[in-house]
Amino acid sequence: MTTPAATTAAGLRLAERMAAVIAGLTGWRRLAVAAFCGLLAAAALPPFYLLPLLIPAFTGVLWLLAGAGPHGGRQAALTGWAFGTGHFAAGLYWVGIAFLVDAERFGWAMPFAVAGLAAGLALFPALSFWLAFQASRRLRLAGVARLFAFAGAWLIGEGLRAWILTGFPWNLMGSVWAFAPETLQPAALGGVWLLSLITVLAAGAPALFAEPSQGNAPSRRRSGFAVAVVLLLLPLVAWGFGAWRLAAAPPLGSAVVEDVRLRLVQPSIPQAMKWRADQRAANLRLQAELSLRPGHDDRTVIIWPETAVPYLLATEPLLRRELATLVPRGGYLITGAPRVAADDPGGKIWNALLALDSGGEIVASYDKAHLVPFGEYTPLRSLLGLAKLTAGSRDFSPGPGLVTLDLPGVPPFSPLICYEVIFPGAVKVQAAAAAAAPRWLLNLTNDAWFGDSSGPYQHFASARIRAVEEGIPLIRAANNGISAVIDSYGRVVAQINLNDRGIIDAQLPEAAEHRTLYSYAGNALYLIHLLLIACVIIVARRFI
């Protein structure tokens, strides 16, 4: 009869053999396994959320790192690059769909864009793996200390990806928890960075079960096993915290701003039809019809998505007067539209958010500050000779930065256009006085570029995390994608699904009663996470 102890021992011996085989891989086999691990990790991202696959993904690459050898810095970096290439190619494949909107002009670039983006972003995991290897070799780390060194290096890679060369923090590892509001709540304490740290530590913990082959003393082996079990339970602890926090929150939909009644419009206009000269007027009529559906008179703010108005409103007084007929009495129409200066229509052009009152006057505006390279402008255009993907021959100009818009009768809000919502700690102006701080986030977007793919779901997941981090609601209007009203705990009050056409009538949720720790400290918490990891490494190196 097999005893539990014998079964456990057999399992540990199997783990050791697997670790030895994977660590001993060389050449293309090592890179292929690393790339496959990256693919597995991508399957945990929205909309699939296959979280168990993170365990073989991160355990596998930790075993690969352990076999890099005493002088394997280059091998470690190549392993990380292969992992990142597989991960980003699978997670960001949908970027190529944008090149097929105008396939005649840009279709040829699709495979180069996806492959180039994946290979370029993979440099960040390459750096993380190299840092982890160097720390383990120079400090002679093993077991728990080596795992924490890897987690810290991973966090450094994600942080650099978020900030270098304008940044692209899409699909940070913490976004795998966006399938439920409970699992997102730790972001209120430490942002998406804390969620990423929990993910990597839990997914890499099983690698510790192969540590006996390192010749550690029995007591230290047992300690390592105990820590591995604790780390594996971290997601359960995070869920428990989230459930506790939500139990203390107001019931969903109960805490609202009484006098602000929103109508969100999702017209679901195909991207290929959006800017056609013979369709622009029809597209406007469609959005007007949706806005005027029954219940319009009870609304105070109508919200249209990014570039919903395909005209330069500053130079179109007649169109502004026509749009004014859609504005509720004493309310506003907030819409995306390209913007030019009224006295210089041939000069700079901005991707803007505009607020119109019932007189057809533009009473507030925001110019998108964080532009998409090659989408809204072409870096080194004179050298590369490439055109941007969006309509028009002129590159968009970046706006001056984040603002807080304060319209009479509406709580102050922070406008965000498209992927500006994916940047943690950079979605609102940090106000010195609480009264001046924005009380909600407004995200206008257009995910029609990416068809029926993973992209719109990943974008929506990032938006939900920002609401939890900042402790304020987020209102999201998409041309196509996922339009939604999200409360300050990341709970979805109402939404329109991808590819659906319709409206959302809802009241504006209130901000959370108490500010979140992340809303106070912002990305300083990222540095604190790294400091705490360093402390754990020091303790684990000595005692575990």
Cα(315)–Cα(309) distance, integer angstroms: 13
Residue 149 burial (C-beta neighbours within 10 Å; 0-12, 13-18, 19+): buried
C-alpha span between 460 and 446 (Å, rounded): 12
Query: Facing residues of 351 across strands?
Result: 338
Selected catalytic residue, list 158, 182, 388, 418: 418
Distance separating alpha carbons of residues 346 and 327, to the nearest angstrom? 29
3-class DSSP string for 128-150:
HHHHHHHHHHHHCCCHHHHHHHH
Tokens 């530590």, residue located:
201
Bridge partners of 495, per DSSP, are 484
| Exposure of 44 in the CB half-sphere (CA atoms within 13 A) | 24
Amino acid at 429: V
Rg of the chain (C-alpha set): 25
Phi–psi pair at 377, nearest 5 degrees: -155, 160
Backbone angles phi, psi at 52, to 5 degrees: -60, -25
| 418 labelled catalytic | yes
The active-site residue, picked from 274, 368, 388, 428, is: 368
C-alpha 98/C-alpha 106 separation (Å) is: 9
Q: CA 449: distance to chain centroid?
A: 17
Q: Which residues pair with 444 in a beta bridge?
A: 417, 477
Closest CA to 389 of 441, 446, 460, 442: 446
| Residue 380 neighbours by CB under 8 Å, 6+ apart | none
388 catalytic per annotation: no
In whole angstroms, what is the distance from residue 447 CA to residue 107 CA? 18
Catalytic residue among 306, 376, 420, 510: 306
Q: Is 49 left (phi over 0), alpha (psi -120 to 50) or beta?
A: left
- Going by C-alpha positions, the residue among 165, 163, 160, 170 that lies closest to residue 131 is 160
Whether 535 is catalytic is: no
Q: Length of the chain, please?
A: 544
CA distance 405 to 422: 20
Q: Which two tokens stand for residue 334?
A: 């907030």
Give me the active site residues, please: 306, 368, 418
